[in-house]
Structure 1
Amino acid sequence: MPSFRSFGPAAATRLALIMACVMAATTVRAAADDITVFAAASLKTAMDTIAADWTAATGLTAAVSLGGSSELARQIQQGAPADVFVSANPEWMDLLEADGLVVSGSRFDLLGNRLVLIAHDRDAAPVDIAPGFDLAGLLGEDRLAMAMVDAVPAGIYGKAALTGLGVWDAVAPHVAQASNVRAALAYVAAGEAPFGIVYATDAVAEDRVSVVGTFPETSHPAIVYPAAALTTGDSSLAADFLTYLRGDAARDVFLQQGFTVLTSKTAGRN
């Protein structure tokens, strides 16, 4: 049974505090916000721009709550007031749909992404990511930052890729898990871990890291971001916002951030 290294003896306490803060921030809807969107942390840069553009175009405000898809899905299950959910993988949306929390017919696949290996050293040599590659040797006694490998989509995809390439068992003792993919990115950017596994779009958003390799798409399940309206919210406004996400303005933002856009204005249920 592999053990996972943390970022210090108080890591569990810090993680609990982070989760508590996320819960507090996402369970209270500000009166001035017209719509609340729960979105995967990897969407931060794009959603910040899209929310501002939505306000400029409609005069309505969108509060975007970001976090690991698993944590956001659990908050929705517990009654958090949200109108729209954009997950970083289908499974957490499947769970909410099974619970009757997704508006029928509103779900569609919005985006795709790639998985990359990043380094804190801007001059780090490229890594040939292939079956059996010696990632453990590259790490030495150092750590590999990843999102939580059994809960957060980026971590799940990363573990699947390393397993598919036959190197997971050797790398697992070096893995330091973060609460979400942007937290893993931050650890590498700050030099707390020399390497990490994140989405390609996360690497674009952080100039203190370099991409040293891209994981073969065949090494892990396809990275898909489904979006849907939630039965806990305002279905009319949610439908309008989802239409905006399928429009040209949002498409341009997603493409600039390196996402693959999987949908169009006429897209329906996936």
Structure 2
Amino acid sequence: MKLFITSLCFWLSWASPALYARPLTVFAASSLTNAMNEVAAAYQKESNTKVISSYAASSALARQIASGAPADIYIAANHRWMDYLSEQRSVNNASIKPLLQNSLALIASNFTGTQPVTLKSLPSKLNNDYLAIADPDHVPAGIYTKQALQSLQLWESLKLKLARGQNVRSTLLLVERGETPYGIVYRTDAIQSQHSRIISLIPESLHQPISYPIALVANHQPEALQLYNFLFSPQARAIFTRYGFIMSEEIKADAQ
């Protein structure tokens, strides 16, 4: 019996700590779903540390973190909700950095005809239909979209013709299902869609830069720092780029 206990203690002391480590939890904007799943899988393979990713609107995730939801890393789709968590002292301010950039695209459902459409022609093209956008009151993709439409002086003529999605993924789904003929989503979501097509990219000059800041949550596990650093690695950058994301200028400078 003593020999068994001694052997067990030796095995436990020798076994990899990763076997007992709590999974690392990442809260990320829904537009990062596919790319982040692949990045997390690559990190798990390299580190033997499980990563659990939760995706939703940046606003919803920020409120959950502020309410004490267990998370280690937060990636938002704009600075508004990162600033909110910073003010709440819910993230490590020193760890806040720009990670990625994105752009907007006007898309059409595959159920919609191929007649020429532009942003400026949308009010006359919609007739009794609606334009799908993410909720402009709190979802980053919707906030950027509203800015673009306001810049083109289209907001007033379109604001009553909007189908609002809870996040950018649900917005894309409205178009893919043919529930709305047109929508505005992130370019990265549009290029992955099998049931919609890109009509045009929206000039970045029409809205604030679409930036994805990242931060360690205030009560993160120590092991989260390794994953945080991995997200800036060449391996992770290659995955993000393949999904259409743009490297932030700061990352580009570090890579040179």
Structure 2: runs of 5 or more not aligned: 1-19
After superposition, where does 1:102-251 map in structure 2 within 5 Å?
102-121=91-110, 124-129=114-119, 133-234=120-221, 236-251=222-237
AA aligned opposite 2:169 = R
Q: Deviation of residue 140 (structure 1)?
A: 1.2
Normalising by structure 2, report the TM-score: 0.87
* 1:126–1:213 Cα contact (<8 Å) kept: no
State yes or no: 1:95 paired with 2:81.
no
Q: Deviation of residue 266 (structure 1)?
A: 8.4
Q: Deviation of residue 121 (structure 1)?
A: 2.6
Of the three residues 14, 20, 32, the one matched with 1:43 is 32
| Larger Rg over CA atoms | 2
Structure 1: runs of 5 or more not aligned: 1-30
* Sequence identity percentage: 39
Alpha-carbon spacing, 1:266–1:228, altered in 2? closer, same or farther (3 Å): farther
Equivalent in the alignment of 1:52: 41
> Residue 160 of structure 2 aligns to a residue in which SS?
helix
Alignment deviations for residues 222-247 of structure 1 (CA, whole Å, 9 cap, x no partner) = 1000000011321x222211111100
Structure 1: distance between partners of 2:150 and 2:245: 24
Equivalent residues, number: 233
Q: Deviation of residue 158 (structure 1)?
A: 0.5
Equivalent in the alignment of 1:22: none
* 1:243–1:265 Cα contact (<8 Å) kept: no
* 1:33–1:63 Cα contact (<8 Å) kept: no
> Residue 91 of structure 2 aligns to a residue in which SS?
coil
Q: Deviation of residue 134 (structure 1)?
A: 2.1
Equivalent in the alignment of 1:259: 245
Q: Deviation of residue 57 (structure 1)?
A: 0.8
Structure 1: distance between partners of 2:136 and 2:38: 29
Of the three residues 45, 48, 64, the one matched with 2:53 is 64
* 1:106–1:239 Cα contact (<8 Å) kept: no
AA aligned opposite 2:141 = A
Normalising by structure 1, report the TM-score: 0.82
